[in-house]
Structure 1
Amino acid sequence: MDHSITILSEKEKAILESYMLSADGLAEFWGENCEVIIHDLTQLDASVVKIVNGHLSGRQVGAPISEVTLNFVNKMMATPGMNHVTYFAKNKRGEAFKASISAILGEKHQIIGLFCINYYLNTPLLSFMQTFTPITKTESENISETFVENTEELMLNALEDAKKTVYSNLTISSSNKNKEIISLLYQKGIFNLKDSVITIANHLGISKNTVYMHIRNMNK
């Protein structure tokens, strides 16, 4: 394999590390029948630096790259624009799985690692359904997500939710309602959005300086 990278820069190490965090999240989303692997291509004899649900293939951290994966790496390196591939395969036990290999690019856009997903197709339907079913009824009721077209809509939806929460709480005095609304929005990270202070101030009928004052007080 024509691969000139032998050492990763600090930035490239950070890139691989970020994919490792993503591996945990993806595996948790798809459940125990989804194997997620991160390969470091600077060490092919021990390329697996992260694996989740490794019981499916019997591999663990420190395992070498497979022949099939290595073959696809060569093809990706030789084919400009080919940064991922999806295929079907079977393991040595004859278990079928759908696989995806995506390139992890370094500082100079060279392939430094791989983000691999193997979903086993012999997963019982009940197990698959349980992965996408809330453990308790309360779990599904506590989270409501609204998808918006722009950040202003996001701000206003969050504002309406905060107002409903504050206005329904009879222990909050009228003079403190705006303060509590701003506090809830602050906790949700709304004020990290561009022009959020002005937007929220306008819809609450207060000055932006008042909003800034409440935010400063929360940071103390």
Structure 2
Amino acid sequence: MTISTAVENAAEALAGEAARQTYENAEEVLRLYRPVMRALATAAGPTTEVVLHNLDGADVDLGHTIMAIENGHVTGRAVGGPSTSLGLDVLKDRRGDHDAFGYTGFTSDGRELRCSSVYFHNSEGDIIASFCINVDLSPLQQARNVLAALLPSSAPAANAPREHFGTDLVAVMDSMISDAIHEIGRPVENMSRDDKITVLERLDQRGATQMRKSVEAIAKRLGISRVTAYSYLEEARARR
């Protein structure tokens, strides 16, 4: 489970709890959930920002809604800081269900965030506070790019060499045979005669048949006799 998935699960659990209760004001929400903010931010790490916004009252100043924040360096905000663009939509419909999980956000410097928001209501049904979790994806994206550069592409060049490793030549040969069988795309017991000739053809092209007792080893893996294996090998060479 990734950090962002775990955070989303935590947010959904929080939403379930929030939906079952009403609160007198935003200060009550802060008192109850301030420890949860610290616990969640500590567990998820420095790339996860946790924010509590005060949306209580008829004249909410969206420029100064942040009551509490953990890991504010993620978005560069602090207590007394602003809401986001979503605050405008929420205040247009204070009794609606605005809870959302795993949506995309962006910082002012272009970093992508994975966000979840939960809203708290008073006894009249009006939204009075929001609990928001924002995960900075840029470290994960950078790590993915590094791994993508290091790992081979899914479609190597046709003329790219194929290298097999083993503790001895027998192990190397067995690895080569396994590779050739895997390329056919079906179990040996389901292979046709032509499939098995193709296995021998590929192994011959890669030099495996030059190894000592290789044809016998190939015959055993393909479930055919040594004589049949040599016959298939001759057919394979005749194709070229």
Between structure 1 and structure 2, the one with the greater Rg is: 2
The structure with higher relative contact order (CA 8 Å, sep 6+) is 2
